[in-house]
């Protein structure tokens, strides 16, 4: 479903701030794969997701989604294939627009937007049903501005929006990092549910090793712009946090004690 | 005082005309989150294009349509400078505004003023609005429906209706999403460069329409007539918001509030002038008023923070 081939990305080339963020990352996801992505700060996790999403184009390598080469497509064109939830709850929704309007915008992802109504009556009814299923108490606040919602509610709404127009690929970029633990757990549970119900191919970046082990069927770890650990299936199921840490220090060298702390 | 009352219908008419311009400013400033300074130029472009075409015998409606189109081209220029050339929005507007000064002069045949000859009654009768009509209606020489307040009022109502419809469509929604959160808009497959350019074109087209109406009202197009238009537009937007934000929740009513804001602005200006203020200080007064109103939300947030509810999913 997703094929990343040898992608490279350097930020601020030729300056003192030069940073090789991705150094030849290759990754192939099968239809329905749910891969969790871990790594220390600056390892390239979010960079990899942004490369796929098309925030900028990569310096070298290629990316294809569902057989379509998207390497040179701008972000808004790739959006046709991709559902996204960001780390910052503010980023995923339009705060000055109503809940239904946000949903309606998302349901037209990848389609031509013409002069038909932005939100139809039938849509309203179906969104109300979906929101009731989310069990967030939003079903009676369809016309509330999204800016009035809490961070958790926004992330849940963004998840729903990402799955409305079934994406070929769902990108979750530390989407629970800005939430309190209880809310984060709820949003993660909801993510699992949405991924399962829609059979979505998913990439989830997380700082939490335990979450990375519990969720999904495959786990990769990035270090210094490369994939250094890649486990899946039974092997992943049996993985524990201490094992993962040990694996990590083996591949990264012993000078990474700081990252250990960050990751645990 | 008598002066003020006598001047009131004229002031309201003029306020309504500027209100149309302010609605254009509302689109960029409030919906797209861009302070578009090109309006200072495109206002005059609309006026100039209209007057030159009209005085050369072109049909009034065609001349107005042309005015709107050249305004849209001005918006296109700003939009392309911003999106295609990557120049910050505010600077793009300034560049367009500056360039338009020469273009406006060129349209007017390198003259700073082009007048419509309203001593010719046949020409005067053709105009949609004119300061003359205010007096003529008062004297009973013209039917009431020719009063500028009525005519511009109809224009404003029609414009609000069209915009209300447009911003409810898929395309209109994508434009609003762009202003609300460009990241989200792109993630939902919206070409934010396109929507920005579209919004700037729409806005400047409306501003040019307003310029064409004011040129009729004053029976002349003048090179400096748009100077400070952005500030007047912002004043109208802010006055409307401050006075009606609690009352008006609907989008159409918000636009109406902008129009009323412009009327209030003009009536206040007339009142200040009637009290004997030197008209040369008008621009300073406008700038001060807008600066104060723009500062209020910032001060409010800084010194009187409102507790925002955050946290759990169940919290409504």
Instruction: Give residue limits of the domains in chain A.
Output: 2-89+169-263
Residue A234's pLDDT is what? 86
**Chain A residues 51-110 with CB within 8 Å of chain B:** 53, 74-77, 79-80, 82, 84, 86, 90-97, 101, 104-106, 108-110
Residue B166 in any domain: the answer is: yes
Task: Find the closest chain A residue to B250 by CA distance.
Answer: A143
Number of domains in chain B: 1
Judged by CB atoms closer than 8 Å, whether chains meet at B189 and A86 is answered as no
Residue B249 in any domain: the answer is: yes
Residue A259's pLDDT is what? 52
Residue B85's pLDDT is what? 96
When pLDDT is cut at 50, 70 and 90, the band that residue B306 belongs to is low
Residue A264 pLDDT > 50: no
When pLDDT is cut at 50, 70 and 90, the band that residue A245 belongs to is confident
Residue B170 in any domain: the answer is: yes
Residue B313 pLDDT > 60: no
Residue B307's pLDDT is what? 60
Residue B243 in any domain: the answer is: yes
Q: Looking at CA atoms only, how far is residue A80 from chain B in angstroms?
A: 6
3-state secondary structure of B115: strand
Residue B308 in any domain: the answer is: no
Residue B279 in any domain: the answer is: yes
Interface test with B, best of A46, A105, A155 (most B CBs within 10 A): A105
**Chain A residues 199-238 with CB within 8 Å of chain B:** none
CB A110 within 8 A of CB A83: no
Domain spanning A2-89+169-263: CATH 3.40.50.300: yes
Residue A257's pLDDT is what? 47
Average pLDDT over residues A36-43: 87
The three state secondary structure string of chain A is CEEEEEEEEEECCCCCCCEEEEEEEEEEECCCCEEEEECCCCCCHHHHHHHHHCCCCCCEEEEEECCEECCCCCHHHHCCCEEEECCCCCCCCCCCCEHHHHHHHHHCCCCCCCCCECCCHHHHHHHHHHHHHHCCCCCCCCCCEHHHCCHHHHHHHHHHHHHHCCCCEEEEECCCCCCCHHHHHHHHHHHHHHHHHHCCCEEEECCCHHHHHHCCCEEEEEECCEEEEEEEHHHHHHCCHHHHHHHHHHHHCHHHHHHHHHHC
CATH number of domain containing B230: 1.10.3470
pLDDT tens digits along B54-113: 999 999 999 999 999 999 999 999 999 999 999 999 999 999 999 999 999 999 999 999
Q: Which of A94, A141, A153 is nearest residue B177 as measured by Cβ atoms? A: A94
Residue A254's pLDDT is what? 55
Most confident of A132-136, B44-48, B299-303: B44-48
Residue B316 pLDDT > 50: no
Mean pLDDT in chain B? 92
Average pLDDT over residues A47-58: 93
Residue B315's pLDDT is what? 43
Residue B275 pLDDT > 90: no
Helix (H) or strand (E) holding B183: helix B182-187
Q: Domain span at residue B164?
A: 2-303
């Amino acid at each position: 479903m997703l094929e990343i081939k040898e992608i490279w990305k350097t930020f601020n080339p030729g300056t003192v701030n030069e940073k090789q963020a991705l150094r030849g990352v290759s990754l192939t996801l099968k239809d329905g794969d749910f891969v969790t992505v871990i790594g220390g700060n600056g390892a390239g996790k979010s960079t990899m997701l942004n490369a796929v999403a098309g925030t900028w184009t990569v310096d070298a390598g290629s990316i294809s989604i569902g057989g379509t080469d998207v390497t040179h497509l701008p972000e808004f064109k790739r959006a046709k294939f991709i559902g996204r939830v960001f780390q910052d709850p503010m980023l995923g929704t339009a705060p000055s627009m109503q809940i239904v309007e946000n949903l309606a915008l998302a349901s037209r992802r990848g389609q031509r937007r013409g002069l038909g109504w932005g939100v139809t009556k039938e849509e309203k009814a179906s969104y109300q049903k979906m929101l009731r299923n989310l069990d967030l108490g939003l079903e009676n606040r369809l016309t509330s501005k999204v800016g009035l919602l809490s961070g958790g509610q926004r992330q849940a709404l963004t998840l729903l929006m990402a799955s409305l127009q079934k994406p070929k690929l769902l990108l979750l970029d530390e989407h629970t990092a800005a939430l309190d633990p209880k809310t984060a757990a709820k949003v993660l549970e909801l993510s699992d549910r949405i991924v399962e119900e829609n059979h979505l191919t998913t990439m989830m970046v997380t700082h939490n090793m335990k979450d990375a082990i519990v969720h999904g069927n495959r786990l990769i770890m990035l270090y210094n712009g490369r994939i250094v650990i890649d486990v899946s299936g039974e092997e992943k199921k049996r993985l524990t946090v201490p094992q993962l840490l040990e694996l990590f220090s083996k591949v990264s060298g012993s000078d990474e004690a700081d990252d250990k702390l960050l990751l645990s | 005082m008598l002066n003020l009352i006598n001047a009131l219908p004229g002031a309201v008419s003029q306020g309504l005309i500027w209100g149309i311009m302010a609605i254009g400013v509302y689109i960029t400033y409030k919906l797209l989150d861009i302070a578009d300074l090109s309006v200072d130029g495109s206002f005059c472009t609309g006026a100039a294009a209209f007057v030159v075409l009209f005085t050369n015998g072109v049909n009034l409606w065609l001349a107005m349509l042309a005015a709107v189109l050249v305004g849209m081209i001005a918006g296109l220029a700003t939009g392309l400078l911003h999106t295609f050339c990557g120049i910050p929005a505010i600077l793009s507007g300034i560049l367009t505004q500056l360039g338009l000064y020469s273009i406006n002069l060129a349209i007017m045949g390198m003259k700073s003023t082009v007048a419509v000859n309203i001593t010719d009654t046949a020409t005067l009768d053709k105009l949609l609005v004119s300061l003359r009509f205010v007096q003529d209606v008062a004297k009973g020489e013209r039917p009431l429906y020719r009063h500028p307040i009525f005519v511009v009022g109809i224009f404003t109502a029609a414009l609000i209706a069209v915009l209300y419809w447009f911003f409810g469509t898929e395309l209109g929604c994508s434009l609003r999403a762009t202003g609300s959160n460009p990241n989200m808009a792109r993630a939902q497959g919206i070409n934010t460069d396109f929507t920005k350019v579209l919004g700037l074109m729409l806005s400047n087209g409306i501003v040019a329409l307003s310029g064409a109406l004011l040129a009729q009202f004053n029976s002349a197009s003048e090179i400096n007539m748009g100077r400070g238009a952005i500030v007047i537009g912002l004043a109208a937007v802010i006055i409307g918001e401050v006075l009606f934000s609690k009352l008006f929740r609907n989008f159409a009513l918000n636009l109406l509030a902008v129009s009323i804001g412009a009327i209030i602005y003009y009536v206040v200006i007339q009142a200040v002038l009637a009290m004997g203020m030197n008209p040369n200080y008008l621009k300073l007064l406008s700038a001060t008023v807008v600066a104060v109103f723009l500062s209020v939300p910032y001060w409010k947030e800084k010194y009187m923070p409102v507790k925002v509810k955050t946290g759990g999913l169940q919290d409504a």
